[in-house]
Each structure stands twice: as structure tokens, then as C-alpha cells.
Chains A and B, each alone.
Chain A
Amino acid sequence: MTAPEAAARRVLVIGIGNTYRGDDAAGLAVAEWIRAAAPPDVTVVRHEGEPISLLETWDQAREVYLVDAVSADGEPGNVYRFDVTAEPLAARLRPRGTHALGVADTIELARALGRLPRRLVSYGIEGGCFATGASLSPPVREAVAVASERLLAELTPGAPPVTAC
């Protein structure tokens, strides 16, 4: 890929989470994995999920991959993939809002404001333990590897298309 092609691709991986809240750090762990192995034109960002700066982070990007921990009444370690370019995240993955908008609300806000990238894919890793000070639980640690491999495959030019998992 030439430099202009790489620049035009403007691919961004955003890992969202909090290192100090157990499985909430899953998105950050995937971001580190991708940073070590991704094609050079892929930019990797760690993010706390604050909505306005999240919008600004992806404003200049064409393809964006969000990776975040979710709590969706499933098994810890489940990996979900949604192409949210054309439709919202599933309701069960949308947290109740407080002062701060959640990632799902931020995606919908961006859609309403015409600020969605050309492609937006969201990976969710089902967490089990979000305790303060905890590290990743064993099933989520395994899921980080699984999600990272799938995302890496998706980021690699010429790779077969990834379908929902």
C-alpha cells in the first residue's frame, strides 16, 4: 500500500475502558494487542469513553473499530461484533444513561449529527467482573485474544470479510 493510500484509508482502532475496573479494561487490552501487530496505516487509540472527545477522535477517520467491554446478560468472554454504520447497537447492549452518555448513545448522537465515519464497527467483549482494582478475569483474557485476532484479520487488506460473531 502506498503512503497516500494508507493516509486515505485512515483506519482507527479505539479501545475503550478503565484499567482499574477488572474486565472493563478488555477494550484497552485489545488496543494494545492491535498496536503491536496491526498494519502500519492503522492508528490505535486508548480512550475512557467520554462522548465528546470520542466524536472528535473519529472525526477525521474513514474506518473506525470500537472495542469495549459490555454487560449483556451473556457469558463472560463472549465476543460480539456489530457493524453499526447503518443501524444502532442492539438495545440489550445499551446501558442506562446518567450524566454521561454511553458509547451506544454517542454512536447515535454522531449518526444524528452526520458525524459517523464511513464505516463503524463495534466489538464488544462480555465482562464478568468489574470490581475496583481487579484485573482481567480468565475468560475475558482469552476473549481479548480471540477478539484481537478477528479484528487483526479484518484490518489486514485482502482478508476475507468478517461476519457477525
Chain B
Amino acid sequence: MKDHNSDWGGSIHVGALARVEGEGGLEVVVRDGKVTDARLDIYEPPRFFEALLRGRRHTEVPDITSRICGICPIAYQMSACQAIEDACGTVIPAPILDLRRLIYCGEWIESHALHIYLLHAPDFLGYQSGLHMAQDRPDLLQRGLQLKKAGNRLMEVVGGRAVHPVNVRVGGFYRAPDRRDLDGLRAGLDQARQLALETVVWVAGFPFPDFDHDYQFVSLRHPTDYPITAGRVVSNRGLDIDVREYDQHFTEVQVPHSTALHSLLHDDGTYLVGPMARYSLNSGQLPATVMAAAGAAGLGPTCTNLFRSIIVRALETLYACEEAIRLIDAYEPPDPAWVEVTPRDGIGYGATEAPRGMLYHRYQINADGTVAAATIIPPTSQNQRVIESDMRAFVEERLDLPQDRLTWECEQAVRSYDPCISCATHFLNLTVVRS
């Protein structure tokens, strides 16, 4: 260990780690030059959504759960609808499923553009925030905002508004948009597709720390499509289950230092969800245009470097633009826009791919349509363990770095998971304790 470390006085304390959603802290303990512990402390009070759903009507669930997150409300609405409809034995016609996939593309574009341009790219380019980057490079921020706008517009037109859309309901949509409404989005999406392509090229040129890891990736997999709204739950270590079997393979455990439950696989513990997992398990489902962009960006069919996840996000943004264009071109308004979902006693399961990873919902419904029990497992909750194990390895490889540099790199690393601590329960303080 280099001499300057002896001046650290035992700990590193970083104020709020901004540019993550919610409130939490990261404490890394170092003894005799070895990292002995890394804890993601999430101290934001729990929000008790699962409890407040009990006794509510099954038709209210999508709108209530969408309020868990202002960045990915569609993910909550979609997983909720899927689970409620599963409990009630309702089959949703393909045109409604296509419209759901379309609005979900809007959320991917909006969320990924926000994360790339305002939250994560500043780390790579040495800026304190997106705002500081905007002062030097307004052109970059304009591009990011233009891209995000395409996602926002899609959410507005299909969902009624960009944040917490109001047009989604159990069984489908309150109103199907007219063909003309969607055609109006086409030019903006064509432009967004080009901006997304430029984004892939831009982020591929960032300096990436050498941090590859043999992750256990978990995501959905669909027989024909890159997973967004549906699929089986799979891993790169042999897991391949129906969403209904989720509880037999995953478990949630409480830890003293987090108000968010940790999610683990029964037999093989820690796993990673999110863009890297989705891409590594499903890149074969991406169109040739997106894979060509991936190849030009230096990515093969998998990505195991946490920091390169920003490239994957850019590729997924490109894909979401292309997919939205495809869906709009093939659009026939579903008629009716929704199907009746008649309640019955039962348990239903739903899982979709939120921008930051798989989002699982399970509901027990009574015959009168009231919710008897609810379980919601958001992506950040699932990633807590892998964040902790990654940070142990990450800090251990960088113990000779000056304090401020180590802090900077840890913040950058944590932001690579795009953690949404609000969803998981919720600013991050980083403390490295040395003894």
C-alpha cells in the first residue's frame, strides 16, 4: 500500500452520492489491506406499498403501483396488469400486447436517455453532474434531451401523459390511440433512432475501467423478441422457469443495514438483473442493425464489464426506437381497447423488464376482486447483493488510489447499476472504514 493511504485517518466519507434515485449509503470496511465487508445501506423508510394494496380493487393495482417510481411507472403498470390478468385467467389479445410493448419502448427510451446523458456520462468525462456537462457541452445535452423527448412523446400519446400515464388499465387501455396519433410520432422516432446511434458511438469512446466479472445474469427470455413485456425467467447458469415458478427459485431476505429486502436465488445466491443481463442473455434476439452498432462499439454477444453497461443502455435505446417504429408501422388500433378482467379467487404472477431490470409482481386476489396479498420485487432490490460483492472486489483492486479518486470511482461504479433506491424501498453516502 502506498504511503499516502496512511494519512486517511481510517475512513472515507463522501457526502450524498447524487444521481441515483433515493437515499442510501455504501460502507466499505478494510482490515490489513483487505476489504472485509461492503454494505449497501438503504435507510430510506419503507413505503409499505404491498400492505396498502391489500383490500384495494384489482383494477386499482396498476395505478397505485405506478406511483412507486416516476422514472419507470410503465414497468409497474405492466407487471401489475400481467399478474392480475394471470390471477383472473384473462387472455389478452395480441394487438393490446403490441400497444403495451410500444408504450414500454417509450419508457426505455426516456429512462435510458436520462441515465446516459444526465446521470452516468458525466462520470466518464470528469464532470460533477449533467448540469456541469451542459455548461461545457450544451450540444451533448441537447442531443440527450431530444432523445428523451421522443420517449416522453410516445408515453404521452399512448399513455395520456409522460409521467405516471393514465391510459393503462387492467385488461388493456382505456382508449386506443388513433393511427394518425401514432403516425405523428414517426418523424420524431426516426430522428431519435439516429440520435441513439450517435449515442452508441459516443459512449463507446469513453475510457472504461478494467472491471470484468463472471456474473450470474438473470432476465426474461422470449421465444421471438428481445424481452420487454414478457418471457421466461432465465440465467446463464441453467435457470429456465415460468414466471409462476419464481417463488420456488428466488427468496427475499432481510438484512439489518437495508430497509429493502435482498433477493437471492435459492441455490446460487447473488445475481445481476438489468441491461447487461438482458443483453448477455438475449443479444441473439436483437436486429442486425443493433448488433452491427454493438460490433462497431466493441461489444460481442455478451457484456461482463460493469462500466460498459452504458454502451448496452445506448444499444437498448437504439433498439427501443427501432421497435417502436416497427410497432407503429404495423399498428391497428385494438378494438375493443380492453377486455373485461373478471375477478376470481387465485394467485397471479407477472414479470416484465423495467429499464433497470426484471420487475416481479405476485398478487392473491379474492373472488370479489379485492387484493388479499401483494409481493413486488423491483430490480434494485435484486441487485443489492451483487452491488455489495462487486464493491468488495472493486475497492480491493484500488486500495492504493488516493481517497478522492477512489470515492469518485466507487460512485461511478454504483451508478453503473442505475440503482433506483426509491423503487427498492431509497442519495448514497460512501464510507470506507480502514483499520
Question: A: which residues have CB within 8 A of B?
Answer: 48, 50, 52-53, 55-56, 96-101, 105, 108-109, 112-114
Contacts and interface: CB of A to CB of B under 8 A. Distances in A.
A105 B114 CA distance: 14
21 contacts: A50-B70, A50-B163, A52-B145, A52-B152, A53-B162, A56-B149, A96-B18, A96-B427, A97-B18, A98-B18, A98-B19, A98-B21, A98-B427, A99-B119, A100-B71, A101-B118, A109-B131, A112-B141, A113-B142, A113-B145, A114-B138
A132 to B, nearest CB: 10
A56 B148 CA distance: 12
A52 B70 CA distance: 13
Contacts, number: 59
A50 B19 CA distance: 16
Interface string B114-135: 1000110000000001110011
A50 to B, nearest CB: 5
Contacts of B141: 109, 112-113
B239 interface: no
Contacts of B152: 50, 52-53
Contacts of B20: 98-99
Contacts of A109: 130-131, 134, 141
Contacts of A50: 70, 152, 162-163
Contacts of A113: 134, 138, 141-142, 145
A48 B67 CA distance: 13
Contacts of B420: 99
Interface of B: 16, 18-22, 70-71, 114, 118-119, 129-131, 134-135, 138, 141-142, 145, 148-149, 152, 162-163, 420, 422, 427
A110 to B, nearest CB: 9
Nearest to B418: A99
Chain A facing B: main interface SS: loop
Given A53-B162, A99-B71, A109-B131, 11 more contacts: A48-B163, A52-B148, A96-B18, A98-B19, A98-B20, A98-B422, A100-B71, A109-B134, A112-B131, A113-B141, A113-B142
B134 A112 contact: yes
A97 B427 CA distance: 8
A99 B420 CA distance: 8
Contacts of B19: 97-99
A53 B148 CA distance: 10
Nearest 3 A-B pairs (CB), nearest first?
A112-B134, A99-B21, A112-B135
A84 to B, nearest CB: 14
Nearest to A50: B163
Nearest to A101: B118
Contacts of A48: 163
Nearest to B421: A98
A86 B18 CA distance: 26
A109 B70 CA distance: 20
Contacts of A101: 118, 130-131
A99 B138 contact: no
Nearest to A114: B138
Which of A97, A98, A109, A114 has the most chain B CB within a 10 Å cutoff? A98
Contact of B114 (A53, A56, A99): A99
A108 B135 CA distance: 9
A101 B70 CA distance: 12
A51 to B, nearest CB: 9
Contacts of B134: 109, 112-113
Nearest to B164: A48
A122 to B, nearest CB: 17
A55 B134 CA distance: 14
Contacts of B138: 112-114
A113 B420 CA distance: 27
Given A105-B131, A112-B135, A96 B162 contact: no
A17 to B, nearest CB: 13
A100 B130 CA distance: 12
A96 B420 CA distance: 16
Given A98-B422, A109-B131, A52 B21 contact: no
A96 B18 CA distance: 8
Contacts of B162: 50, 52-53
Contacts of B71: 99-100
Contact of A52 (B119, B130, B149, B427): B149
B367 to A, nearest CB: 30
Contacts of A105: 131
A113 B142 CA distance: 7
B70 A100 contact: yes
A33 to B, nearest CB: 23
Which of A52, A55, A100 has the most chain B CB within a 10 Å cutoff? A52
A101 B21 CA distance: 11
A114 B137 CA distance: 12
A143 to B, nearest CB: 26
A96 B17 CA distance: 10
A112 B18 CA distance: 20
Contacts of B163: 48, 50
